[in-house]
Structure 1
Amino acid sequence: MYEMLAKALSSAEVAAYQSIAAGEHPEPCRATDRLVALGLIERRMHDGSWIAHDPRAVTHGLMGEALTELRRLVTHIHEIPALDALAADYDPHRMYGGPASEYLPTRDAMNGRIGEVSAAASASVLTAQPGAPADRDPRVIALGTQRTIDALEAGVEVRSMYVSTAVSHAQTAAYVGQIIDAGAEVRTLSGVFPRMMLVDGRHLFVENHIITGADNDAGWHVTDRGCVAWAESVFGALWDRAARWTIALSDSTITTTGRQRQILVELEAGYTKQQAAKRLGLGDRTVTGELSSLRAALGMRTLYQVMAWWATSRDREFH
């Protein structure tokens, strides 16, 4: 009976109940029909008069019925995962392996999903970055570098493709230099090409081209095997056209002092400025001052830019 309460009592039904409770006997109508169905009123057959019942008793009975149905639904809900588990038997025999794509509306959502999927990579991570490079939080760069190195050490193939102008961006060049040393393959391509990331030939991340007015960093996680395979073939075609990453050489007329070269060698080996100072028997202020002077001479703003310059400098031949 509780299904009858799918909607609240209408004003006509309330008025009908009130009149019958007050001892009146209205003509049967749609309002009285529903009140009878709910058990709120009853009609005497011998004289056609109406009797009103206590709504509290009716409420108690309906509540009992609703709770019984709720328990049934809860039991049913608990049984659903057992059905979903059968997907493990269904998927291996079909090319379709799950929902085709999922919209990720924010940068955090995209980065979180990319981090989760790439951390579990077992075969390959392919990325195409067509945008103009820009300085990013060094902590984010360091985290991304370590993730890439960890993947390479685990035997994962890493291929990254950048726009040609990226070679002159110091921070990007420093990052690329590190991952190349760790075993990654990096190429550059001029012109327009799509941004994408592919993991293990099963996951594809692309920009949003569907939802209007969305966050600029929104995107899609695609798992449809046909789409992912197509994107991988596109990446392969672009990769074949791309050139091997080459570091842009800096002004060879600028030279370092012997002390600066010693400091740069220590930093390149992975030591901090404080550790380099201790290993060279110098004060922290001396190291900081030498690096500041070199940065000013090179016209650079950050130590990351200096280290990227040092990676291709002819001054390295004299250390």
Structure 2
Amino acid sequence: MAELPAIEGLVPAYDAHRWYSGPVSELLQSRDEMNARIQQALRTASSEMWTAQPGAPVDRDPEVQRAGMERVLDLRGRGVSVRSVYNVAVRDHAPTVGHLAAVVEAGAEVATLEEAFPRLVIIDGTHLFIDNCVQAGAEDRDAGWHVTDRATVAWAHMLYQQLWARGTRWQDGGAGSETLTERQKAILRALEEGEPQHGVGPRLGLSDRTVTKEIAAARAAVGAQTVYQLMSWWGRRQAEG
């Protein structure tokens, strides 16, 4: 078995589609099935567990967080790279801030992203777990796919690296200013870059109603009567560094 990697050198002697293809994906129809399959893959993980979690932060059962921390410690103890990309809103959610700070201290890497991105889990570059985008209106929204197709997993791996490069590392982002929340700052940055207000929601994964509500809250926080005054304040703040 130790000599099997040498078989890679025989690739030119085989049809490419036969060498790289195989059983490609399986629908897992519930959260429990997804979690069980992920745990199964993690038991033999040797190089990486990369996750992207785009959802808004929620108050999690302390037991769930404890189990997550134990998993991180186990993986890091085996030398496995642990990376997670989160919605920037987690920086304003105190329970999540505490948990992620401990995760980083344990040796994992965490980054936050202001834009919308897909949920996914990559393990060892051979297992990919994604949401169920095939069956519209599926009964269980936590259902998903376990993909092992080599080309698809490699593509997702490349996508993840791009997301990671655009994210803000946990240690570099701070926990939010005293004036505005991270979500409000993300909205203002999008407007500053020329995004129309109706385009901010799709870009950040927020509803139009949420964007309007957050802009109103930001105006109130800085004493601006209009969006123009708010953006003027924001521009001065950026210029001041």
State the TM bucket, normalised to the shorter chain: 0.5 to 0.7
Q: Which of 154, 176, 192 is equivalent to 2:78? A: 154
- Structure 2 stretches lacking a partner, 5+ long: 12-18, 179-241
Which residue number in structure 2 is paired with residue 175 of structure 1?
99
Which residue number in structure 2 is paired with residue 77 of structure 1?
none
AA aligned to 2:48 is S
1:36-51 to 2 correspondence within 5 Å? none
> Larger relative CO (CA 8 A, sep 6+): 1 or 2?
2
Partners of 1:118 and 1:170 in 2: how far apart? 28
AA aligned to 2:169 is R
Comparing 242-251 with 188-197, which one deviates more in the overlay? 242-251
Partners of 2:44 and 2:169 in 1: how far apart? 27
Shift of 1:243: 0.9
AA aligned to 1:226 is A
Q: CA offsets per residue over residues 208-246 of structure 1, 9 Å max, x none?
A: 011233211000000000000000000011111111113
Shift of 1:117: 1.1
AA aligned to 2:99 is Y
Q: CA offsets per residue over residues 82-131 of structure 1, 9 Å max, x none?
A: xxxxxx9xx976222x3100000001111111111123211001111111
- Structure 1 stretches lacking a partner, 5+ long: 1-87, 252-319
Partners of 2:41 and 2:94 in 1: how far apart? 28
1:17-166 to 2 correspondence within 5 Å? 94-96=19-21, 98-166=22-90
Which residue number in structure 2 is paired with residue 281 of structure 1?
none
Q: Which of 222, 235, 240 is equivalent to 2:147? A: 222
**Greater Rg over alpha carbons, structure:** 1
**Contact 1:119–1:151, Cα closer than 8 Å, also in 2:** no
Shift of 1:249: 5.9
Change (3 A) 1:238 1:249: closer
**Contact 1:100–1:224, Cα closer than 8 Å, also in 2:** yes
Change (3 A) 1:241 1:250: closer
1:233-272 to 2 correspondence within 5 Å? 233-245=158-170, 246-248=173-175
- In the comparison of the two structures, how many residue pairs are matched? 162
Partners of 1:119 and 1:132 in 2: how far apart? 28
AA aligned to 1:173 is V
AA aligned to 1:239 is W
Which residue number in structure 2 is paired with residue 196 of structure 1?
120
| SS state at 1:114 partner | helix
Name the Cα RMSD after superposition. 2.1
| SS state at 1:248 partner | coil
Partners of 1:163 and 1:249 in 2: how far apart? 13
AA aligned to 1:147 is R
Partners of 2:175 and 2:115 in 1: how far apart? 19
Runs ≥4 residues deviating over 2 A: none
| SS state at 2:20 partner | coil
Partners of 2:108 and 2:60 in 1: how far apart? 21
Structure-2-length-normalised TM-score: 0.63
Identity of aligned residues (%): 47
